[in-house]
Amino acid sequence: MSDLPKIVYFGSDAICLPGLRYLVEQASHLCTLAAVVTQPDRRQGRGKKLQQNPVAAYASEQGIQLLQPDKPDAALAEWLRTESVALAFVMAYGHFLPKSVREAPTHGMLNFHGSLLPAYRGASPVETAIALGEQETGVCLMQIVKEMDAGDVADRESVRIESTDTSPIVRAKVGEAVVPLLQRDLAAALSGQLDFVPQDVSQATFCRKISKEDGALDFNQSAAALDARLRAFTPWPGGYFDHRETRVKVGRCTVSASSSRAQPGTVVAVGDCVEVATAEGVVSLHELQRPGGRMLPAPDFLRGYPIEEGEVLASVASAPLLV
């Protein structure tokens, strides 16, 4: 039996996989991954068949013990103590962790949070950073406390948000950024010797859960803001506007080089794309979809569903993303 310290990984999303793979494939000389704790299998797809999340699927493929409690509870805390788990890592797990579970490992639990704290505490740090036009985000290795994302920070790794990056691209970058954190900090974390720095609470911002309604396009915002929001909300909730009685989804947009003084929401040009005036600049809509149809390039869409130059598209005021 190995004398290496035991660790457990809590996570339920594909963003966890780079760090989890590192622990399995490159850190076996430092620790033993005793188990993965993840969300229960859910019914998904048209057939509503039970499917594993990406973390559960990886653990199963690797033959790692898989724990999937409905909620982390006293029984899980007791298991962590009985197994003499030294440390637990958490990322995108999806459940609040009670004190009994947080304190069960010898050296506690450490969280990988997908922002450069204290900015973007909360449920949607990656999406909100993109939507608000940030050019940089990252991941922090932090202590877990009762208050959401308020724990002291041991280390951080930054990633660039490019002007064309969508949410899946940035989430992949953030997931990969966990690896250098583990390379730098794993040994100290296993021995309880990491140094932590308190967050500057005065600089903290808080992001909420993204909702389906956030996909509504508000042409009273700038073209740059609409572009950022659509990239942030790809693939879900996406973007849409209501045209007469039809809800039209938008697959891709860019900021047009043209300008207009027309009322926000006015269709100022139709051709290779649909160009719409905004509060500042013009946004070009390149891919469109109507109910029951496929997402199509704008010229193909317009052949079957005309949108006329001069029409004014309705705007829906966007709810603040920071709370």
pLDDT tens digits, residue range 28-39?
999 999 999 999
Average of pLDDT values for 4-24? Answer: 97
255: pLDDT strictly greater than 80: yes
pLDDT band at 1 (very low <50, low <70, confident <90, very high): low
**Sign of the alpha-carbon dihedral angle for 124, 126, 131, 136:** positive
Q: 82 pLDDT band (50/70/90 cuts)?
A: very high
The alpha-helical segments, DSSP class H, found in 7-157 are: 17-25, 54-62, 74-82, 99-102, 125-131
Residue 161: both structure tokens together: 């948000």
Cα–Cα nearest to 161, from 139, 129, 120: 129
Retrieve residue 312's tokens.
């004014």
Measure CA 71 to chain center: 21
CA–CA distance, 109 with 92 (Å, rounded to integer): 14
Other C-beta atoms closer than 10 Å to the C-beta of 191 total 13
Contact indicator for 53, 10 with CB cutoff of 8 Å: no
Answer with the residue of higher pLDDT: 42 or 275: 275
Q: What domains appear along the chain, each with residue ranges and CATH number?
A: 6-206 (3.40.50.170), 212-304 (3.10.25.10)
Cα 219 from Cα 265, distance rounded (Å): 5
Q: Return the pLDDT at 50.
A: 87
- pLDDT for res 45: 74
Region 113-134: what's the mean pLDDT?
A: 98
Specify the pLDDT at position 165. Answer: 98
**pLDDT, tens only, 208-236:** 999 999 999 999 999 999 999 999 999 99
Q: How does the average pLDDT of the chain come out, rounded? A: 96
For 143-161, write each residue's pLDDT tens digit. Answer: 999 999 999 999 999 999 9
270 close to 285: Cβ distance less than 8 angstroms: no
Question: What does pTM read for this prediction?
Answer: 0.94
Q: Where are the beta strands (DSSP E) in the chain?
A: 6-11, 32-37, 42-44, 49-51, 66-67, 85-91, 109-113, 121-122, 136-143, 153-160, 206-207, 239-243, 246-255, 267-270, 274-277, 282-289, 296-297
